[in-house]
């Protein structure tokens, strides 16, 4: 999921399990409603129904893949889990496989020792507390080892069809760079986006923003000439005002 940390993105690994901001006044988006509607309308024209890029076969393997994706690329995670998921696609099979074997399968991923430990611990907890089923409730998911708010949001969205915004480094960067959701923390960015994005776009908004950040509005140098919302963008880093033509892409 390309969840590597940006230098400008606060570490939410510890704060993810804490309560979200209460009635604290959120920063305002720089965009009016009609501009936001136009932005997401164009994203929808480009990718009708985008999907995540992590390979999985069920909610459990999705959960494991997202946990492994922290500070790793989707491509790297998919390579590591290709063989793993063939022999361990349930909590029972993963627990039986054991931490050492899980570690061997994912050793090409950063922080693989700690991640292998968490995969075994969450598998054990799923068996003992959730009848070996991945819970559909975000608050229950966050109780699992290695699972923070972002991971839980991805799982409830992709596995159970709940509209959520999982703020990774791409969404955090775009929210602040464009002024779309200028939050100081991932939780603030999430809250702002959930407030301003029209309901009709909310379910796919997470993936649209991630893909835009991954392939167009890149961290080091945004590719403004390839941006379909260049005319709407209010970023100070913008290098052109003419939007790229919208070409339909595979989901």
Write out the catalytic residue numbers: 150, 168
Alpha carbon distances (Å) from 35 to 29, 192, 202, 243: 11, 15, 15, 14
d(CA 222, CA 170): 12
d(CA 94, CA 194): 35
Locate 60 and state its tokens. 């459990």
Q: Inter-axis angle of helices 186-196 and 199-215, to 10 degrees?
A: 130
Q: What is the residue-wise DSSP string for 57-93?
A: SSHHHHHHHHHHTTTS-HHHHHHHHHHHHHH--SHHH
d(CA 55, CA 26): 35
Q: Which residues of 82-116 are buried (b: 16+ CB within 10 A; e: fewer)?
A: eebbeebbbbeebbebebebbbebbeebeebeebb
* First CA to last CA distance, the chain: 15
Residue 21 buriedness (CB in 10 A; 0-12 / 13-18 / 19+): middle
For residue 177, report the phi and psi dihedrals to the nearest 5 degrees: -65, -45
Q: Hey, how many other C-beta atoms are within 10 angstroms of the C-beta on 190?
A: 26
């Amino acid at each position: 999921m390309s969840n590597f940390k940006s230098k400008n993105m606060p570490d939410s690994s510890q704060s993810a399990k804490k309560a979200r901001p209460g009635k604290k006044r959120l920063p305002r988006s720089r965009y009016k409603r009609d501009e936001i509607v136009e932005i997401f309308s164009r994203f929808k024209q480009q990718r009708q129904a985008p999907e995540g890029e992590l390979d999985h076969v069920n909610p459990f393997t999705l959960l494991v893949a997202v946990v492994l994706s922290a500070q790793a690329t989707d491509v790297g995670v998919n390579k590591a889990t290709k063989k793993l998921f063939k022999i361990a696609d349930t909590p029972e099979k993963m627990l039986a496989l054991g931490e050492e074997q899980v570690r061997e399968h994912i050793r090409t991923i950063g922080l693989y020792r700690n991640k292998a430990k968490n995969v075994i611990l969450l598998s054990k907890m799923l068996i003992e507390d959730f009848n070996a089923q991945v819970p559909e409730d975000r608050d229950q998911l966050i109780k699992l080892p290695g699972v923070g708010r972002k991971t839980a949001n991805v799982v409830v969205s992709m596995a159970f069809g709940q509209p959520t915004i999982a703020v990774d480094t791409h969404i955090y960067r775009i929210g602040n760079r464009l002024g779309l959701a200028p939050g100081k923390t991932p939780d603030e960015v999430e809250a702002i986006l959930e407030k301003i994005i029209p309901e009709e776009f909310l379910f796919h908004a997470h993936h649209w923003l991630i893909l835009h950040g991954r392939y167009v509005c890149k961290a080091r140098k945004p590719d403004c000439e390839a941006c379909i919302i260049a005319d709407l963008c209010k970023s100070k880093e913008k290098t052109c005002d003419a939007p790229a033509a919208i070409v339909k892409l595979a989901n």
